[in-house]
Structure 1
């Protein structure tokens, strides 16, 4: 059963219709032919085409489907299993789901769950629909999650921005947020090729600034080494990272001339519990 949705215009509950969804105020949202609902009103978009573009999404698809991040999804599945233990039909929300690799794998691992993924990028959600027709896909913003209050058991945030106010609104008391973030030396070998000086990523900044009612309960790591054996795969990895936006043509050329790269995975996996005070 899909997760409940709320109208992004008036916040009333959305009900399914033959063509999509509508609220009692007659705000209507047609389901795209690919299968998703667009719940990001144009007046709430900061640009005409927000989020990752089609080229970045294609690169992410190719790289993730190569299997090099298999240890990452395995760790995420294990953490989700722990977080949803003793919940018969958990609601799992992937906030900023990108092209849907992690979301679809979570759906496969938890067939009894209502799994919903959303992203601000329309090309990303279109790619999600090609990946799986079994997941509930939405175009939406983490700043205004189109889910009613207190509906979600677990939120997944993979290298995405956390809006703690919205997370607290949609989570059930006792729910969890699972955050994947870069560790100090994540993709160090890749960064060594393109930068003269490689600075460690700041670690644990996110959990040191948690707002009231959110508490860190598990601080885990995902580490490993990827042996990338083609320039195409190396460039696809670059396109998955923020470095893609900052590299100079000469730096990209250096990467394109590599035919192999041993590159380390170093990620932090935080489990953060939501425990609101009793009124």
Structure 2
């Protein structure tokens, strides 16, 4: 069950043709040697190299590969299994980064069709090395190069959401799983950086929830991790936006810590589509 792609130029369906994807208007997109498709035209980028850079991607890859966020993967898989039709599910990971969560889902739900996309090309390059059975795309969340009403589930993990686009590609009755930082997420890290630390606004994304989505349930995922070396501490810092707020003195203090206990707490919510409002 293949993922149905849409041309980012004219919005017609894309068909596979050798190592390319082509629409009826002959807009052609070649697959990279690593297997992914770049479906983000240069005229739709807000910068030359949008998204995470190579340094952040490498830090995230090293850190996540140690399994610090495995409880998130486990919770996502349990929830996806509860939706039923495991063998025939199409799953979209919106803003997949370097593919840690996406690959974990595919490894557990082997018969599902999984697509992951991110706006950052370095992230998709890294993701392509994780699992060749996933459709990897360079794309923007605000204009998904995907055909309508095909996904059973859309997941968004610490990433930007676009409710209208999520609803458009979701099957009627499909689910959206949204995971955001809990109010005290990575509090120890934030206290080491900022003079004043405010709780994350957990309900921020609910303010613009469309009428055709209904909140079904919320869950908190809480975990304590022990970072036992400087590399892990610095990788955690580098994979977050907090990295850009650290001055030289703080950076030195953090890098001199030998070990660190870090609590993190995530808010996981899932929604079910009711009606569709096509554009």
Both structures adopt the same fold (TM-score exceeding 0.5): yes
**What does 1:239-254 correspond to in 2, within 5 Å?**
239-254=238-253
Structure 2 counterpart of 1:115: 114
Partner of residue 60, structure 1? 60
Alignment correspondent of 2:77 = 77
Q: Please list the CA deviations of residues 69-89 of structure 1 after superposition, one character each: whole Å capped at 9, or x if unmatched.
A: 111111111111123x13541
1:230 and 1:278 map into 2 onto residues whose CA distance is 50
RMSD: 1.4
Q: CA deviation at 1:277?
A: 6.2
Q: Distance in 1 between matches of 2:156 and 2:163?
A: 11
Structure 2, unpaired ranges of 5+: none
Q: How far is the alpha carbon of 1:278 from its aligned partner?
A: 9.5
Aligned to 1:274: 273
* CA positional deviation for 1:198: 1.8
Which consecutive aligned stretches of 4+ in structure 1 deviate over 6 angstroms post-superposition?
A: none
Task: Give secondary structure in 2 for the equivalent of 1:264.
Answer: strand
- Checking the alignment, whether the CA contact within 8 Å between 1:2 and 1:116 is kept in structure 2 is no
Per-residue CA shift, 1:131-186, capped at 9, x if unaligned? 11111100000011111111111001001111011111111111111011000111
Task: Output the CA distance in 2 between the equivalents of 1:87 and 1:235.
Answer: 38
Q: How many residues align?
A: 278
Distance 1:104 1:240 in 2: 18
Taking structure 1 as reference, are residues 217 and 35 closer, same or farther at Cα in structure 2, changes over 3 Å only? same
SS in 2 for 1:180: strand
How big is the shift at 1:20? 1.4
User: SS at 1:211's partner residue?
Assistant: coil
Q: Is the 8 A contact 1:194 1:255 kept in 2?
A: no
Cα gap change, 1:172/1:37 in structure 2, threshold over 3 Å: closer, same or farther? same
How far did residue 208 of structure 1 move?
4.2
Q: Per the alignment, do residues 277 and 39 of structure 1 end up closer, same or farther by CA in structure 2, a change over 3 Å counting?
A: closer
For the 8 Å contact 2:168–2:276, the answer to whether it is kept is no
* 8 A Cα contact 2:86 2:109, kept in partner: no
Deviations 1:21-75 (A, max 9, x none): 1011100000001110000011001100010001000000000001111111111
Q: Are 2:141 and 1:139 aligned?
A: no
Q: 1:196 Cα shift? A: 2.3
In the alignment, structure 1 segments of 5+ residues that lack a partner are: none
Name the CA distance, whole Å, in 2 between partners of 1:241 and 1:277. Answer: 35
Contact 1:9-1:27 at 8 Å conserved across structures: yes
1:1-279 pair list within 5 angstroms: 1-83=1-83, 85-86=84-85, 88-276=87-275
